[in-house]
Structure 1
Amino acid sequence: MLVVGWQERVDLPLLGLTNLKAKIDTGARTSALHATEIVTFERDGMPWVHFHTRFDDDARDTDVECPILERRDVKNTSGIPETRIVIRTKLRIASRLWRIDLSLTERSEMKFRMIVGRTALRRHSILVNPSKRNLTTPTSAGAPDRKRTAT
């Protein structure tokens, strides 16, 4: 059983994205990734998407291209259904790597530009400790960054 906190650093290696601050959100069914300038196109007769993503406000946008898995109705944070492009990629938390589906949506006003929903966690022996964060992320000293409490 892998125990993770409510916030973790994750990688999306097939997209070339590493060390992303993500919220582990069991209240969300679908995982979501921040994307802007979303453009769909065909490559070899298959639907693809090109988009920009940014995880740090002072960082530059990263261009990503990948196949489209499907278009799916997803409820946004306000509970309103919207049709989103969904891609399939690999997620790495700690040393574990597995396939997940990610919906693409503009999240620049949100604190977390990536949400890992419960469908992505299912069947992977993951336990979320809601009182901790960054349990799988080594700090510069090599130890997990545990939530500090004032004494």
Structure 2
Amino acid sequence: MITVGWRELVNLPELGLKGVPAKIDSGARTSSLHGIVVDEFKRDGEKFVRFEVFFPGSKVMQVCEAVHVDVRGITSSNGETQLRYVIKTPLQLGNHTFRAEISLADRSDMKFPMLIGRSALRRKFLVDSGNSWLQSPGREPVKGHKP
């Protein structure tokens, strides 16, 4: 098992997104990405969704397209159930790339534009909640907190 910290930088290569700050949250089942859905369409008979991402500090809005696998009721951190688009795309965490299901949500009020849930972590990663950036190239790992 690979150890990750409670926050990491991840890449979503098929979406063209690099260095996305992500909170690792084993309490959440489904991973989530800040994305505002613009359009749903078909390409070669397959359902796709087009969405906009905007990360604080970057001042750049990017339009992404991904295979749309489902619309699901997802319970948010405040206990409300929201219908969200779910995409499936490669996720790179450290040197490890795997396909993950990711719901698209308005996370503009959240500190992290992405949340990695336990379904993506299962059987691959161990979370060390006292550390950060353990699998984030270019970031100095932060070991615990001083009292």
Q: Residue 82 of structure 1 aligns with which residue?
A: 82
**Does structure 2 retain, via aligned residues, the 8 Å contact 1:138–1:145?**
no
Identity fraction in percent: 39
1:32 and 1:85 mapped to 2: Cα distance? 10
Residue 150 of structure 1 deviates from its aligned partner by 5.1
How far 1:56 moved relative to its partner? 2.9
* Structure 1 counterpart SS, 2:41: strand
Within a 5 Å distance, the mapping from 1:9-88 to structure 2 comes to 9-88=9-88
Q: Deviations over 1:39-82 (max 9, x none)?
A: 21222332211111022334211110112011111101211111
**Runs of at least 5 residues in structure 1 that lack an aligned partner in the other structure:** none
- Superposition TM-score, scaled by structure 1 size: 0.89
Number of residues of Structure 1 aligned to a counterpart in Structure 2? 147
User: Is the 2:130–2:145 Cα contact (8 Å) retained in structure 1?
Assistant: no
**1:6-57 alpha-carbon deviations (Å, 9 max, x no partner):** 0001111111111110000001011000012432122233221111102233
Q: Does 2:145 correspond to 1:146?
A: no
Runs of 4+ in structure 1 over 6 Å off: none
Separation of aligned partners in 1, 2:134 and 2:61: 28
Gaps of 5+ in 2: none
Query: Which amino acid in the other structure matches residue 142 of structure 2?
Result: R
Q: What is the root-mean-square deviation in Å for CA atoms of aligned residues?
A: 1.7
**What is the TM-score of this pair, normalised by structure 2?**
0.92
CA contact (8 A) 1:4 1:129 kept: yes
Q: Residues 70 and 37 of structure 1: is their aligned pair in 2 closer, same or farther, counting only changes over 3 Å?
A: closer
